[in-house]
Amino acid sequence: MRTKEQPLIFEMSRKGRKGDSLPELDVPDVSVEELLGDSYIRKEEAKLPEVSELQLVRHYTALSNRNFGVDSGFYPLGSCTMKYNPKVNEVVARMPGLSHIHPYQPEEQVQGALELMHELQESLAEMTGMKEVTLQSAAGAQGEWTGLMMIRAFHEANGDYDRTKVIVPDSAHGTNPASASVAGFDSVTVRTDERGLVDLDHLREVVGKDTAALMLTNPNTLGLFEEDIVQMAEVIHEAGGKLYYDGANSNAILDKARPGDMGFDVVHLNLHKTFTGPHGGGGPGSGPVGVKEDLVPFLPKPLLIKKEEQYTWDYDRPQSIGRVKPFYGNFGINVRAYSYIRTMGPEGLKQVSEDAVLNANYLMKRLEPHYDVPYPQYCKHEFVVSAKRQKDQGVRALDIAKRLLDYGYHPPTMYFPLNVEECMMIEPTETESKETLDEFADALIAISKEVEENPDYVLEAPHHTVISRLDETTAARKPILKHEQ
């Protein structure tokens, strides 16, 4: 169902139209020239669109109709935890005392906000088995970097300047090695073995006196719990390194296994994943970081503490790595996460993990006869299938993803992790019903039949979206990044 393209907002612009409602100036008027030197005054106006309010609303409504969210349909994007975003979270985040407070108001004017943040910090510390949590990091990747910077500061405080390496499994999220680089480390890859888990022998080979940390996602990106975690922690700790937990995949472990108990020293969480902050089309997120006791002195400053029944910002932290973000983090996302935690409570969160794991295993089982499942043991919150079988018939995983669009689904995470051929990484989440899982499985099974019977139809997919496959090569070769007016 192709529709005609939606014009750019600039293409609807007509000189003289307005969408704003600025009040009359009520102070004595003075010329701009009098207030600013001539060289400072802008000569040519920025070419923003000139449209009426209804035109604006119709334009963005039309754009929203060309977009797909969790509310539109099933969105099993692996490692992204596209669960339901509760509506009440949006209501509480917009309360005036939470939405319209300035970060430089004196502490006594914002005690409610500080209490909320402190409660959230404590809940997250309890869930992860960490001593203290900072809410300053903006997103998962910034949390990773913040954690690694603390590990660096810890080693340096011990006079240990030669720990230049961070070990990262080959199945790790791309942000892990990128964060290691940004924090000034070199990354070393540790292999995945035939079980889909970190190769313990290889880990023993690559670890050494230069090891600053091991970054690990557990359950890993294949959706498997790293059963050897206790031994791995021993290997790293004996070598003097620290264990970093990438909490992007924590939806499976709530009340089941705390990173702190597994031996991790630093944890970041993606509040926009496990804790229902809406993904917003790519953000904003929030990436709090928790640490064990020996790393507490290095937390970013300021740190929120409770002192004589008052909440206050502690800036007097001489060993802190400093500031990673202005103000106190993405407060608005933290409000939503706290709302979710209070909605679920301890029993609810435990059920979340159980249902997330149940859903993933059920879906995997249903797909197993039709797609290669490289790691058929029980998975956690997500699993991977390979379209190797279909590739032999000339249809790639990408084509299957495009065909899924016709069936009304958002495709899984594609071609990741990198160590699985023609990989599709599927994370159903706990908020999906059995009926939805069955319908999705039926769609993938139907596509596998189409691959056998009418592969061209799959290769030409999608057929029912507003636009067909886009020319990404030209887009990258001759980039057009803005509209020329």
Partner 1 sequence: MSNHRYLPMTEEDRKEMLQVIGANDVSDLFADIPTKVRPASSMNIKPALKERDLLKHFTELSNRNVSTKDFPSFLGAGVYDHHIPATVDAVISRSEFYTAYTPYQPEISQGELQAIFEFQTMIAEITGMDLANSSMYDGHTALAEAVVMVAGHMKMKKQRVLVSDTVHPEAREVIDTYVIGPKLNVSSIDQAKGKTDISDLKEKLDDDVCAVVVQYPNFYGGIEDLKAIREACDATGAMMIVKSNPLALGVLTPPGEFGADVVVGDTQPFGIPSQYGGPHCGYFATKKALMRKVPGRLVGQTVDEDGTRGFVLTLQAREQHIRRDKATSNICSNQALNALGSSVAMTALGKSGLKELAVHNLKKAHYAKQQVEKAGFTIVNEGPHFNEFVIDVGSNVVDVNKKLIDKGFIGGLDLGRFDQASDHHMLVCVTEMRTKEEIDRFVKALEESK
Residues 215-244 that bind partner 1 (CB under 8 A): 224-225, 227, 229-230
Among 294, 327, 394, 446, binds partner 1 (CB under 8 A): 327
Let me know: does 406 contact 469? Beta carbons within 8 Å: no
Tell which positions 189-208 bind partner 1, by CB under 8 A: none
Let me know: does 32 contact 65? Beta carbons within 8 Å: no
Residue 278 exposed, middle or buried by CB count within 10 Å (0-12, 13-18, 19+): buried
Residue 465 exposed, middle or buried by CB count within 10 Å (0-12, 13-18, 19+): middle
Answer yes or no whether residue 209 interacts with partner 1 by CB under 8 A: no
Nearer to partner 1, 99 or 452 (CB): 99
**Under rule CB under 8 A, how many of the chain's residues touch partner 1?**
208
Among 1, 39, 161, 194, binds partner 1 (CB under 8 A): 39
- Give the DSSP H or E segment for 214: strand 211-216
Tell which positions 55-114 bind partner 1, by CB under 8 A: 56-57, 59-72, 75, 77, 80, 82, 84-86, 88, 90-92, 94-106, 109-113
Answer yes or no whether residue 157 interacts with partner 1 by CB under 8 A: no
Let me know: does 190 contact 198? Beta carbons within 8 Å: yes
Stretch binding partner 1 (CB under 8 A), from 48-56, 288-296, 420-428, 448-456 = 48-56
Cα separation, 205 vs 289, whole angstroms:
29
Cα separation, 407 vs 400, whole angstroms:
11
CA quadruple 129, 131, 136, 141: dihedral sign: negative
Nearer to partner 1, 274 or 392 (CB): 274
Radius of gyration of the chain (CA): 25
Answer yes or no whether residue 312 interacts with partner 1 by CB under 8 A: no
Nearer to partner 1, 144 or 450 (CB): 144
Tell which positions 435-464 bind partner 1, by CB under 8 A: 462
Let me know: does 260 contact 130? Beta carbons within 8 Å: yes
φ, ψ of residue 167 in degrees (nearest 5) = -90, 130
Stretch binding partner 1 (CB under 8 A), from 181-189, 201-209, 237-245, 387-395 = 181-189
Answer yes or no whether residue 164 interacts with partner 1 by CB under 8 A: no
Among 130, 133, 149, 295, binds partner 1 (CB under 8 A): 149
Cα separation, 272 vs 93, whole angstroms:
14
Answer yes or no whether residue 180 interacts with partner 1 by CB under 8 A: yes
Token match 């005392």: residue?
97
Among 343, 392, 446, 454, binds partner 1 (CB under 8 A): 343
Answer yes or no whether residue 308 interacts with partner 1 by CB under 8 A: no
Tell which positions 344-403 bind partner 1, by CB under 8 A: 344-352, 354-355, 357-359, 361-362, 365-366, 377-378, 380, 401-402
**Least distance (Å) from partner 1 to the CB of residue 423?**
13
Answer yes or no whether residue 332 interacts with partner 1 by CB under 8 A: yes
Answer yes or no whether residue 306 interacts with partner 1 by CB under 8 A: no
Among 17, 131, 202, 204, binds partner 1 (CB under 8 A): 17
CA dist 298 → 72, 242, 416, 460 (Å): 43, 14, 34, 54
Nearer to partner 1, 98 or 305 (CB): 98
Among 51, 214, 304, 387, binds partner 1 (CB under 8 A): 51
Answer yes or no whether residue 339 interacts with partner 1 by CB under 8 A: yes
Residue 240 exposed, middle or buried by CB count within 10 Å (0-12, 13-18, 19+): middle
CA quadruple 203, 205, 207, 210: dihedral sign: negative
